[in-house]
């Protein structure tokens, strides 16, 4: 950001995001934000509040959990082989059904569709011109095709 893009709201955003120390702010905005901070006392007060929070966060120490808690967590961990995530999903989606049933039904319907498409079982014979004309008129939604076909 350059020019007058740094305003009071932006300085507050910088303080909220990066903390009260201007050394942590983005370099391209730092000088403008610091100058605005020096001119506006309400921004300096906002920065001082953030400085208290920064100090609390920097001085806070996290203690390690006691040995008894660590032992309880380790004892409660799941044991044995992990279940395949895909199998777990199938069990979740179909708890009372074997997984091969829907897969088998899908495979059978695909095989039947491929057979019908490849065999031409539902296609009219090439010499049946009336049927071909009727199918063509249905496909094109045009009755004139059938009339012209028979001429």
pLDDT of residue 16: 93
Q: What is the pTM (predicted TM-score) of this model?
A: 0.41
Q: What are the tens digits of pLDDT across the range 31-68?
A: 999 999 999 999 989 999 999 999 998 898 888 889 99
CB distance 48 to 21 below 8 Å: no
pLDDT exceeds 70 at position 3: no
Residues 59-101: pLDDT tens digits?
988 888 899 998 998 888 877 777 788 777 777 777 776 656 7
Q: Pinpoint the alpha helices (H) of 21-142.
A: 27-39, 41-59, 67-76, 85-93, 100-119, 129-140
Which of 121-125, 128-132, 142-146 has the highest average model confidence (pLDDT)?
Answer: 128-132
Q: From CA 3, how far away is CA 32, in angstroms rounded? A: 8
Share of the chain above pLDDT 90, in %: 31
């Amino acid at each position: 950001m350059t020019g007058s893009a740094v305003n009071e709201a932006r300085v507050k955003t910088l303080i909220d995001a990066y903390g009260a120390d201007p050394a942590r702010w983005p370099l391209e905005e730092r000088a403008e934000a610091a100058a605005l901070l020096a001119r506006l006392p309400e921004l300096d007060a906002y920065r001082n509040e953030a400085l208290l929070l920064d100090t609390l966060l920097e001085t806070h120490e996290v203690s390690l959990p006691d040995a008894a808690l660590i032992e309880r967590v380790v004892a409660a961990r799941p044991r044995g082989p992990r279940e395949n995530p895909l199998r777990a999903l199938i069990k979740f989606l179909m708890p009372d059904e074997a997984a091969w049933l829907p897969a088998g039904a899908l495979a059978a319907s695909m095989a039947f569709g491929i057979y019908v498409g490849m065999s031409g079982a539902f296609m009219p014979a090439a010499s049946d011109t009336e049927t071909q004309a009727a199918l063509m008129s249905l496909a094109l939604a045009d009755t004139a095709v059938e009339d012209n076909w028979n001429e």
